[in-house]
Chain A
Amino acid sequence: MAVPGYSQDVKDIIRKSEEIRRGVESSEAEMTMTIVRPTWTRTMSIKSWAKGDDYALILVLSPARDKGTATLKRQKEVWNWVPRIERTIKLPPSMMSQPLLGSDFTNEDLVQEVSIIDDYEHKLLKDSTIQGRKCWKIELVPHEDVAVVWGKIISFVDQKDYIGMRSEYYDEDGYLVNVLQVLEVKPMGGKAFPTKIEMVPADEEGHKTVMEYTSIIFDKDISDSFFSVQNMKRVR
């Protein structure tokens, strides 16, 4: 690989992978989320809608106890609807790091404040293989003044479909904190899609969250008004 334009190549990979991740205009998906803890396991089935990078709506279908619980993302804001207490909550900054639906994901994972392309320094490491797919291994280090808690992120991007196969999040001292990993890539919705993803916090043994897509429809026509606080309470 020629040295000039070297970092540009890395940026291109990240950019393309980002485009693949959210490139579709809109999507409607159904999935199951399994929260694994040392002493118990809980499975929820979830329906989600997304449009571009600004709008997302997540609805819990089962278990019956949590049915109807919805989380809405509008631009940088996150709203919660809990039907059992009939309350809508706009999440204050102090709740952004709370778990999302009790899983190992956080509300913050929904709202990405910083740009993975512009706010990080990228470096290409040597290629590796994840789930039988050849991947670029890329190190992302946030710029000094960027509001990111991570010291660095190691990302593995599939060389064929530009799917982000694995992301390792490290703190400032280089300790591994979280691992986000794709467990399965299958054709779904007309293209290769990461259908099974797991999030594993590194320092909590026996904890993880697995998301498995059961169906996804891309480019469905959804209007912006679908992602409203009113609709969050009605949606089925």
Chain B
Amino acid sequence: MLTQVAWRNVWRSKVRSLVVITAISLGLIAGIFLMSFSWGMNTQRTRDIIETRTSHIQIHQKHYKDDRKMSLFIPQGMKLLDEVKTEPEVKAATARILANGMISNARGGFGVQINGIIPEEEAKVTKLDTRVVAGEYFEGLKTNPILIGDKLAEKMGWKEIPEPGVKNEDGSPAQPTYQIRKKVVLAFQAPGGKTKYGSFKVVGVYKSINSKFDESNVFVQFEDLNRLTGTENQAHEIAIMLNDQNMAEDSTFLASLAAGNPQLLVENWKDISPDLKLIDETFAITVYIFMGIILLALLFGIVNTMLMAVMERTKELGMLMAIGMNKDKIFSMIMLETIFLSTIGGPIGLLLGYGLVRLFGNIGIDLSSMAEAGAQMGIGTMVYTDLETHYYFQIALMVVVTALIAAIYPAYKALQLKPVEAIRSI
């Protein structure tokens, strides 16, 4: 009975009700879209960092990370790598030898981390080969090839950026060109403190989404760096990609590996990159703050409209009270009206929001106008919106709760009416 009255009341003033419904749906759409944008950007960033840098698991000598001393090799590293590779959980694994040093050409010298990698294995773990933008991925040069980053190539004077607006013959914007097959000199301190120098030739240029990384990392072959160091088959780092990312935190194999080798440091991607975790959490907090602001605006919108609905119907409410409708029922009626409004607005907003997320999840949002800033933070130029299902319900619930809270004041206002005065009012 009361439900019917409330339902009819909703549709007696269509415009007013539609305003509330629209406000609720818009709030939902905005909330869902904002969340999916951050979520999409974040998962993409996390995935990028795992796939290109940290991998799921890294193994080092226990004290290597303290001061990155070159002498702290993984004991029997190559044997360990072979063992790791046979595990069914492991998708791919590779070993690296690392050195901090300097790369120089006639233009000057730049501090870099020199990564000695096994090219075929590295391609499986970090897909480094897919990021080569000029030259080849360790092909075509017999001795001492080196792969340098785009930003470093620029600093060394080997990148030519076309004038803005210059087009190719087919109308696409002209891409930067690079000079390769150039000679560089690497210098680093080998174990024992001796400075070693080596002459390398640029085989290719890579570009990742993180320009800071490109500036400070160069890749050479595992054997070449070992030979220059005066070692054989020594590694500082073993990087592992698993079949399932969730396994990184609770793999029995890794637990046994860590327990069986106390001289090793076995870390998953969250340990390796605590900044990733931090940014993850910061993003979440920011999203909730924005959600809060949107909901607050929505709250005032609903309060305003519902208050209007009550004030417009003063006479009618007075009449209802006069013929014996009690206060509980009046209160419930107004609350019910709000619930109806939000249960209509909710699904519309959810549906439209979902559509929008799917749409931009496919075509992506182009951020290339701020690519430079994005690259410094390690964010790609395209953001694909994405949101896990439970967030939709979370947002829907938040909006409905907001609507209910918003209805309390107008309903309370209605209770304050005195039947006799209310009937006489115009």
Contact = CB atoms under 8 A, between A and B. Distances in A.
Nearest to B100: A94
A219 interface: no
Given A76-B195, A147-B197, A147-B198, A94 B102 contact: yes
Interface centre among A93, A94, A97, A146 (most CB of B within 10 A): A93
B195 A172 contact: no
A5 to B, nearest CB: 30
Contacts of A149: 104-106, 183-185
A148 B185 contact: yes
A96 B199 contact: no
B187 interface: yes
Contacts of A171: 105-107
A89 interface: no
A171 B105 CA distance: 8
Contacts of B277: none
B233 interface: no
Contacts of A150: 106
Nearest to A97: B109
A172 B106 contact: yes
Interface in A78-96: 92-94, 96
- How many chain A residues sit at the interface, stated as a range, is 20 to 34
Contact of B101 (A93, A151, A177): A93
Nearest to A91: B195
A93 B194 contact: no
Contact of B188 (A76, A93, A145): A93
B68 interface: no
A144 B198 CA distance: 11
Interface in B118-160: 143-144
A96 B187 contact: yes
Given A145-B199, A147-B185, A76 B102 contact: no
Contacts, number: 59
A93 B102 contact: yes
Instruction: Tell me which of A76, A77, A97, A172 has the highest count of chain B C-beta atoms within 10 A of its own C-beta.
Output: A97
B101 A146 contact: no
B75 interface: no
A113 interface: yes
Contacts of B194: 76
B300 to A, nearest CB: 58
B190 to A, nearest CB: 10
B195 A94 contact: no
B189 interface: yes
A197 to B, nearest CB: 20
A145 B141 CA distance: 13
B180 to A, nearest CB: 12
B182 interface: yes
A169 interface: yes
A-side binding surface: helix, strand, loop or mixed? Answer: loop
Given A76-B195, A93-B195, A172-B182, A145 B106 contact: no
B108 interface: yes
Nearest to B144: A145
Contacts of B106: 149-151, 169-172, 175, 177
Contacts of A146: 199
Contacts of A76: 194-195
Interface in A147-178: 147-151, 169-172, 175, 177
B62 to A, nearest CB: 24
Nearest to B143: A145
B111 interface: yes
Contact of A93 (B105, B108, B144, B187): B187
B101 to A, nearest CB: 5
A76 B189 CA distance: 12
Contacts of B102: 93-94, 96-97
Contacts of B184: 149
A135 B150 CA distance: 44
Contacts of B100: 94
Interface string A185-212: 0000000000000000000000000000
A79 B221 CA distance: 32
Nearest to B228: A147
Contacts of A170: 106
Interface in B197-255: 197-199
A172 B105 contact: yes
B67 to A, nearest CB: 13
Contacts of A144: 199
A172 B109 contact: no
Contacts of B107: 171, 177
B189 A93 contact: yes
A29 B107 CA distance: 31
Contact of A148 (B101, B189, B199): B199
Contacts of B109: 94, 96-97
A96 B108 CA distance: 10
Contacts of B197: 113, 147
Contacts of A92: 189
Nearest to A171: B106
Interface of A: 76-77, 92-94, 96-97, 113, 144-151, 169-172, 175, 177
**Complex A-B, nearest 3 residue pairs according to Cβ-Cβ distance, in ascending order:** A97-B109, A171-B106, A147-B197
16 contacts: A76-B194, A94-B102, A94-B111, A96-B102, A96-B109, A96-B187, A97-B102, A97-B104, A97-B109, A146-B199, A147-B185, A147-B186, A147-B197, A149-B105, A149-B184, A172-B182
Given A76-B194, A149-B183, 17 more contacts: A93-B102, A94-B102, A94-B111, A96-B109, A96-B187, A97-B102, A113-B197, A145-B199, A146-B199, A147-B198, A148-B185, A149-B184, A149-B185, A151-B183, A171-B105, A172-B105, A177-B107
Interface of B: 100-102, 104-109, 111, 143-144, 182-189, 194-195, 197-199
